[in-house]
Amino acid sequence: MSISYAPAGKTGKWDGALDWLQMLSGASLILFMWCHMILVSSVVIGPGVMNAIAEFFESTGMVQAGGPLIFLVFLVHFVLAARKIPFRFDGQKTVWQHARMMRHGDTWLWVIQAVSAMIILIMASVHIWVVLTDLPITAAKSAARVQGGFWAVFYLFLLPLVELHVGIGFYRIAVKWGFVKDSQRKKFKRGENMLTMMFIAIGVITLLRFMFLSVN
Would you call 168 exposed, middle or buried from its count of C-beta atoms within 10 A (0-12, 13-18, 19+)?
A: buried
Part in contact with ligand HEM (CB under 6 A); list of ranges 2-10, 89-97, 120-128, 191-199: 120-128
Using CB under 6 A as the binding rule, whether residue 74 contacts ligand HEM is answered as yes
Using CB under 6 A as the binding rule, whether residue 142 contacts ligand HEM is answered as yes
Which residue, 42 or 95, has its beta carbon nearer to ligand HEM? Answer: 42
CB of 2 to ligand HEM, least distance (A): 23
Which residue, 151 or 171, has its beta carbon nearer to ligand HEM? Answer: 151
Q: Would you tell me the crossing angle of helices 13-40 and 62-82 to the nearest 10 degrees?
A: 140
Q: Total number of residues binding ligand HEM (CB under 6 A)?
A: 23
CB of 97 to ligand HEM, least distance (A): 30
Handedness of CA 20, 174, 10, 117 (dihedral sign): negative
Which residue, 62 or 102, has its beta carbon nearer to ligand HEM? Answer: 62
Among 95, 99, 137, 168, binds ligand HEM (CB under 6 A): 137
Among 76, 61, 90, 63, which Cα is nearest to 22's? Answer: 76
